[in-house]
Structure 1
Amino acid sequence: MEETKYVKYMSDNFRAQRHDFMNYFQILYGYIQLGKINEANEYIKGIMELNKNMSKAYSISLLKVSILLDKMVREFSDIDCIVELDIKKYTDYTLRMVDNEDDIVNLLGKIFAYYMEREEAYKDKIHIKIEEFEDRISFLFVGEDNIAEVLEETRGFNFEIVEEGTGFTFTYVNPIDILEEE
């Protein structure tokens, strides 16, 4: 049953990606049809930057976390907000499963919902520093945005407010290493 839920999750996310990419091509096609070559070139440059940032998300060994980050990069780009990922990896694994991956995804989802639902105008950028180790993954949301109120709602969860922003760490529960880098 768990495998079926995972396959459905993956399928839904890949379908959403395909939909987004088809929209990119339709907009580009429209620019070309209208003879707006400069706009088409700028649009292509923007999509290339977006894809570079999205590809960073897949350097993390937790696939559900990678997919969520990819999705957020795309969704926030639709409202002209850049989700900038700075990822450092200190493990040789490209794919792992951990029992608490859904907890990580759920908390990140709440944080992104907080950013999406804010009443004040969106900022130009959400900067996230991510470090992945053999036994844990840490996230630092850089800047003055106070995601601490979102984190405080999560009972039993430790976070730290530092000069650079708000950070938190998940220790992996029962990691299963599936694929090691070659």
Structure 2
Amino acid sequence: MNELEKYISLLRKQRHDFMNDLQVIYGYLQIKRPQGALEYIDRLSKQNETISEIYKLQDDGFSLCLENNIKKLWANEVKVEIDIEISNFKNKIFENEYNKKNDLVNTIFMEIEATDQKFVYIYIFQDELGESLLLANNEAMLGEISWMDEWQQIDMAIDGFKIYRCDFDNNIAYRLIF
């Protein structure tokens, strides 16, 4: 699929999602439940604020990848918690080898969602190892970052990326370091 087709496909999906949201709001109003409509609008507003925070990192490829995955989680009623501790990335991480990086992140999200935990924790931060993305199905996995030597390093042919995985019981976490 060429770039124009991808762009058109994204626009069509956004328009479709927007129309679905309008239908939900209209439905609440038709059944005389304005409070339900207001709550739905509030939820949409909070979700859009979350997505906007990701785009403030100034890497559109990275942001689009996360946005698509987060919206899939929301559609499947998975709770998503996001912590962003940096204002923007030093480099555009997804500028080169976008498809490989996008596929990797999509695969991680699918594995995490397959645990049926109904929760995904996303943490974007920087430490002595570099700028990082942590994805986990349990916020408690954040405590495992200090034990990075016990995480399994995954070899991938993606320049500038280090990938680590940690799991126990039904808890999974991935850390991507850029």
Same fold (TM over 0.5): yes
Moved runs in structure 1, 4+ residues, more than 4 A?
Answer: 90-93, 151-157
Distance (whole Å) between structure 2 residues aligned to residue 43 and residue 158 of structure 1 = 37
Aligned residue among 37, 40, 43 for 1:40: 37
Q: Which amino acid aligns with 1:59?
A: K
Matched, 1:8 2:13: no
Note the C-alpha offset of 1:83: 2.6
What's the CA shift string for 1:64-102, capped at 9, x where partnerless? 221121122222111221333322234477x78632332
Name the structure 1 match of 2:148. Answer: none
Does 2:175 match 1:167? Answer: yes
Residue of 71, 75, 79 corresponding to 1:74:
71
Relative contact order higher in (CA < 8 Å, ≥ 6 apart): 1
Deviation at 1:104, TM superposition (A): 1.9
What residue in structure 2 maps to residue 176 of structure 1? none
Give the C-alpha shift of residue 108 in structure 1: 0.6
> Are 2:124 and 1:126 aligned?
no
Q: Sort the Cα spacing of 1:27 and 1:168 in 2 relative to 1 into closer, same or farther, 3 A.
A: same
Aligned residues of 2:57 and 2:89 also touching (Cα < 8 A): no
Gaps of 5+ in 2: 142-150
Equivalences for residues 19-168 of structure 1 within 5 A: 19-87=16-84, 88-91=86-89, 98-116=95-113, 118=114, 120-123=115-118, 125-131=119-125, 137-142=131-136, 143=138, 152=154, 154=156, 158-159=163-164, 161=166, 165-168=173-176
Q: Which amino acid aligns with 1:126?
A: V
Report SS of the residue matched to 1:32.
helix
How much has 1:107 moved relative to structure 2? Answer: 0.8
Query: How big is each residue's C-alpha offset from its partner over 1:116-174, in whole Å with a ceiling of 9 and x where there is no partner?
Result: 3x1x5342x311112479xx7521124367xx89x848578532649x9431213xxxx
1:60 partner SS: coil
Gaps of 5+ in 1: 171-182
Equivalent AA in structure 2 for residue 129 of structure 1: Y
**Count of matched residue positions in the alignment of Structure 1 and Structure 2:** 157
Aligned-residue CA RMSD (Å): 3.4
Structure-1-length-normalised TM-score? 0.68
User: Structure 1 161/122 Cα, relative in aligned 2: closer, same or farther at 3 Å?
Assistant: closer
Instruction: Check whether the contact 1:91–1:132 (CA below 8 A) recurs between aligned residues.
Output: no
8 Å Cα contact 1:141-1:165 kept in structure 2:
yes
Pair 82,7 (structure 1): closer, same or farther in 2 beyond 3 Å: farther
Aligned partner letter, 1:140: L
Identical aligned residues as a percent: 22
